[in-house]
Amino acid sequence: MNPFRLVRPRSLADAHAVLGADPRGTTIRAGGVDLMDRWKEGIDRPATVLDLRTAAAAEDARALASLSATATSLAVGALVTLDALAETPLPAAFAAVRAAAGQAANPAIRRQATAGGNLLQRPRCWYFRHPDLACLKKGGSRCLAAEGNNRYNAVLGGGPSYIVHPSSLATALVAFDGHAVVQASPGRPKEIPLGEFFVGPTERLDAETVLRPGEILLGVRVSAPAGARSAYDAVRERRLYDWPLVEAAVRLRVEAATLRDVRVVLGQVAPIPWRAREAEAVLEGRRPTPERLAEAARAAFEGARPLSDNHGKIAVGRGLVRRLLHQVTGVPLPA
Partner 1 sequence: MTETDGRTLAPWRGALRVVGAPIDRIDGPAKVSGRARYTTHVTPPGLLHAAVARSKVAAGTVRALDLSGAERLPGVRAVLAVAVPGQKIRFAGQDLAAVAATTPEIARAAVARIEVVVEPTPHVVTLDGAMADGAPRVHEDPVQARRTEGDDPTEVRGGGRVTGNVRPLPAFEHGDPDRAFARAAHVHEAVYETPVVLHSALEPHALTVAWDGDDAMTVWASTQSIFSVRDEMASIFGLSPERVTVICEHMGGGFGAKFGASAPGSRMGFIAGTLARKAGAPVRLALDRRAEQEVTGNRPSSRQRVRVAADGRGRVVALEVVSHGTAGVGTGAGVGRNAAHLYEKIPHRRVRAHDVFTHAGPGTAMRAPGHPQGAFALELALDELAAKIGADPLDLRIAHDRHPVRRREYELGRARFRWDDRRARARAARAAGARVRTGAGVAASIWGDFGRAKAARVTVAIERDGSVHVRNGVQDIGGGIATVLAAVVAEVLGRPVERVHVRYGASTLGRSVGSGGSQTTSSVAPAARVAAERARRALLEAVAEATGTPPGAVTLEAGGTVRVGPRRLSFEDACRLLDDDGIEAVGQRGPTRSDAPYPFPGGGRPQIGGVQFAAVEVDTWTGEVRCTHLTAVHDCGRVMNAKAAESQVAGGIMMGLGFALSEQRQVDPVHGRVLNADLERYKLPGFGELPEIDVHFVPVETDANETGSLGIGEPATIPTAAAVACAVFDALGVPVRTLPITPDRVLAALRDGRAEAAP
Q: Which of 196, 206, 237, 255 binds partner 1 (CB under 8 A)?
A: 237
Three-state secondary-structure class, residue 33:
helix
188 binds partner 1 (CB under 8 A): no
Contact 259, 250 (CB under 8 A): no
Name which of 34 and 208 has its Cβ closer to partner 1. Answer: 34
Q: How many residues bind partner 1 (CB under 8 A)?
A: 35
289 binds partner 1 (CB under 8 A): no
Segment contacting partner 1 by CB under 8 A, of 48-56, 121-129, 210-218, 270-278: 121-129
239 binds partner 1 (CB under 8 A): yes
Using CB under 8 A as the criterion, what x/- string covers residues 146-175 for binding partner 1? -xxx-xx-----------------------
Contact 78, 116 (CB under 8 A): yes
127 binds partner 1 (CB under 8 A): yes
Strand partners, 186: none
232 phi-psi bin (left φ>0, alpha ψ -120 to 50, beta other): beta
Name which of 187 and 312 has its Cβ closer to partner 1. Answer: 312
89-93 long-range contacts, CB within 8 A, separation 24+: 91/224, 92/229, 93/224, 93/228, 93/229, 93/230, 93/251
Q: Give the separation between CA 257 and CA 13, rounded to whole angstroms.
A: 51
Q: Give the separation between CA 206 and CA 172, rounded to whole angstroms.
A: 24
Nearest-approach distance from CB 246 to partner 1, in angstroms = 9
Q: Which of 133, 187, 190, 255 binds partner 1 (CB under 8 A)?
A: 133
Cis peptide before 160 (omega within 30 of 0): yes
333 binds partner 1 (CB under 8 A): yes
240 binds partner 1 (CB under 8 A): yes
Nearest-approach distance from CB 140 to partner 1, in angstroms = 11
Q: Give the separation between CA 171 and CA 165, rounded to whole angstroms.
A: 9
Chain residues in the site for partner 1 (CB under 8 A): 1, 124, 126-127, 130-133, 144, 147-149, 151-152, 235, 237-243, 245, 311-313, 315-316, 319-320, 322-323, 333-335
